[in-house]
Amino acid sequence: MTQVSSKRTPLMSTRQVALTAVIGGIAFLCEAIGLWAPTPWPGGTINIGGFAITLAAMVAGPWAGCIVGFLDMVPMAGFGPIAAWLYFETPLYTAATYKPIYRLVQKNKALGLIVFFINQSVGWFVANISLFSFWFSSVIESFPSYWSAFYYTSITGFPIFGWIYVVLPTIVLATATDFVEPRWNWFPRKV
């Protein structure tokens, strides 16, 4: 009887695991010690985890971004891991659109950075804000309606959310292009 041997490949490479651990550890630590940015509404703050999640998706792929999103949410009191799925949209959207944009950045840096900036703005504004507005208004009821939550998290929160989800990743892509090269795949390749 002949037995066919197949080599199993891991979901993430060693580089991806290492980057996920470092970026996830930083996001976890920042959240745990309360390193937050102020928001325009009274008493509001936002963690910098959105940048870490986006960066992880850029350098290590969608699964790394999702893991970093979960690690960022674990120490949050009152929000915590039950809401971690809200942070999965960012790495999945970023990963789905990042490779072609990175190739464009390699060919024409200025145009590629503009496309990346617009792409991240759309991904942040449409999906992320919609999910968080639903969560804040319907689940934890910190806003009286969906539209009031949408207004506060998008219009008045744009300077902070935009900086974290759009501007900082664009700066990293512009200045550390080789570091953020997407050397990852959605699923392991057959060997």
pLDDT in tens, 62-111: 999 999 988 888 887 666 667 777 778 889 999 999 999 999 999 999 99
34 is a domain residue = yes
**Nearest to 69, CA basis, from 44, 94, 45, 40:** 94
Q: What is the DSSP letter of 190?
A: P
pLDDT (tens digit, 9 = 90+) per residue, 129-156?
777 777 777 777 778 888 888 887 777 7
102 is a domain residue = yes
57 is a domain residue = yes
156 is a domain residue = yes
Which range of residues forms the domain containing residue 112?
14-175
Angle between helices 49-60 and 14-33 (to 10 degrees): 180
1 is a domain residue = no
Total structural domains in the chain? 1
pTM (two decimals) = 0.84
Query: What CATH number is associated with residue 79?
Result: 1.10.1760
184 is a domain residue = no
190 is a domain residue = no
3 is a domain residue = no
Instruction: Give the pLDDT confidence score for residue 42 in this predicted structure.
Output: 60
User: Residue 119 has which token pair?
Assistant: 């792409």
Q: Residue 2 and residue 191: Cα distance in Å, rounded?
A: 20
**Coil, helix or strand at residue 8:** coil
**More confident site: 10 or 3:** 10
